[in-house]
Amino acid sequence: MPKRFQTVVIFLALILGGVVVVQWILPALLQGPKVTRLPPGVKPAAAPGMEEEAVPVAVRTFKAARIEFTDLLPTMGTVWGESEVELKFEVNGVVKSVDFREGDLVTQGQVLATLEDRDATLRAEYAEGKQRTAQTQLDLAEKRLSINQDLYRLGAIIRPKLEESQLEVEQARAQVETAEKEVELARAELDKTKLSAPIDGVMGTREIDAGEYVTPQSVVATLMDVKSVYVELGIIERDIERIKLGQRVKVSVDSLPNIPFEGKIDNLAPLVEGKSRTLTAKVKVENPQGKLLPGMFARSEIAVFEKPNALVVPTSALRDTDGDGKFDSVFVIEGEQAKLKPMSLGYLTTDYAEIADGVQEGEQVVTEARGPLKEGSKVTLLETEEAGMKRAEPEIAQKAGE
């Protein structure tokens, strides 16, 4: 056999062997485990000896507890004086001096500003001079009357002369009284050139400067009483029904972050403002030390609900089993199983709820389940939260300024 023919035969044999390997051996080497795709919603069969219910559900629980429960509504507002007085001079004149600064605390009777008083001073001095003259005339008339009384007893003068002296005294006395009234009037006019504080308070915006001409219609400044102040709060429309007169309010201001103030809602506006759609609530706050000043920005928390010894659980524990949109039950842990208990709500907040009936103090209610949970489900506890919280309960009863 020629050598070239042998080479061709060997080459064809190798090709035939490769085809056999590809068709029969390689698929067996590449074959993997079979994958069975289940229809949507169909669970795979449990392994032999392992029932689905035997797999415990990991849960977090909360131990129902009784606490002093307070629900606070946060709002913002502005501090205003309890009363505000516009200060004005009673007479026309040119301002001589302004003796206050904006924000000064002033006392009743303190002089705040003065007018040029030269003319008023001269009128007062003139009236006082007239009074002294009238008093001198009275003294002389009384002296003549005394002499004439002695002469009349001695028979040296006739009675009409004595009566004439008496009339002179009465006339001089009337002139003195008139002069005294003129002095009082002149002094009052002089006093009107001084503007004094009618009450204790804090000075507002200053409206004049020295050298200006003012009239009784010109506002010099506003004086605000700060022994007690009002905090005006804007209540949005959805919260109006929760606000009532007498509710306690905690107030704080940024300039005094560590000092709480306490007040009560003293007044509610009878209508909702059109543009802001808010109701104005006024909170009266005692301010004996004058730390709260008009114009300050205030942060407030209104105690819209307060109940001592309330049984409370987190809202995450509540269940709506019948789908009517109302919470009606909770899961509680009994042994190693979850039990669905019907209950009724008292008061509901965003974070916590008061249970009126159906849950006992100390029961562990499920707040989180890492898997489907139903009646009788076996559970394993991840964490139990104790009732160490007191939701949003600051020391609201603390006295202001302490």
pLDDT value of residue 201: 86
| Apex 393 CA angle, 389 and 242, nearest 5 | 120
Distances in Å between the Cα of 361 and the Cα atoms of 70, 341, 355 are: 18, 14, 10
Q: What is the CATH number of domain 75-81+226-306?
A: 2.40.30.170
Round to whole Å and give the CA distance between 172 and 137: 6
Which residues, in sequence order, are CB contacts of 303 under 8 Å at separation 6+? 70, 71, 72, 247, 248, 249, 250, 396
| Sign of the four-CA dihedral 295, 301, 305, 310 | negative
Helix then strand then coil, % of the chain, to nearest 5: 25, 40, 35
Three-class SS of residue 51? coil
Domain extents for the chain? 57-67+308-385, 75-81+226-306, 91-116+193-219, 118-190
| Dihedral, 49, 51, 57, 63 alpha carbons, nearest 10 | -100
CB-CB contact of 333 with 366 (8 Å): yes
CATH of 118-190, one of 1.10.287, 1.10.3470, 1.10.10, 1.20.1690: 1.10.287
Q: Name the helix (H) or strand (E) containing 65.
A: strand 65-87
Tens of pLDDT, residue by residue, the chain (402 residues): 455 556 655 666 666 655 554 455 545 544 544 444 444 444 445 445 444 446 888 999 999 888 888 888 999 999 988 888 899 999 999 999 999 998 888 899 999 999 999 999 999 999 999 999 999 999 999 999 999 888 888 888 888 888 888 999 999 999 999 999 999 999 999 999 999 999 888 888 899 999 999 999 999 999 988 888 999 998 888 888 889 999 999 999 988 888 889 999 998 887 776 666 788 899 999 988 888 888 889 999 999 988 888 898 998 889 988 888 889 899 999 888 889 999 988 888 888 889 988 888 888 999 998 888 888 889 888 888 876 544 333 333 334 344
pLDDT value of residue 30: 46
Structure tokens at 336: 């190693």
> What global pTM score does this model have?
0.58
Round to whole Å and give the CA distance between 62 and 81: 47
Which residues, in sequence order, are CB contacts of 196 under 8 Å at separation 6+? 109, 110, 111, 112
Round to whole Å and give the CA distance between 226 and 80: 8
CB-CB contact of 358 with 346 (8 Å): no
Round to whole Å and give the CA distance between 292 and 395: 19
pLDDT value of residue 276: 67
DSSP state of 378: B
Angle between helices 118-154 and 159-191 (to 10 degrees): 160
Q: What is the CATH number of domain 57-67+308-385?
A: 2.40.420.20
pLDDT value of residue 324: 85
Q: Tell whether domain 91-116+193-219 is in CATH 2.40.50.100.
A: yes
pLDDT value of residue 36: 43
Chain centre to alpha carbon of residue 35: 65
pLDDT value of residue 2: 55
Round to whole Å and give the CA distance between 239 and 142: 82
Parallel, antiparallel or unpaired: strands 248-253 and 201-206 = unpaired
Q: Which amino acid type is present at position 311?
A: L
Distances in Å between the Cα of 362 and the Cα atoms of 69, 119, 332, 340 are: 17, 86, 10, 16
Count CA atoms within 13 Å of residue 152 on its CB side: 15
pLDDT value of residue 202: 86
pLDDT value of residue 402: 41
pLDDT value of residue 29: 47
| Sign of the four-CA dihedral 201, 207, 209, 212 | negative
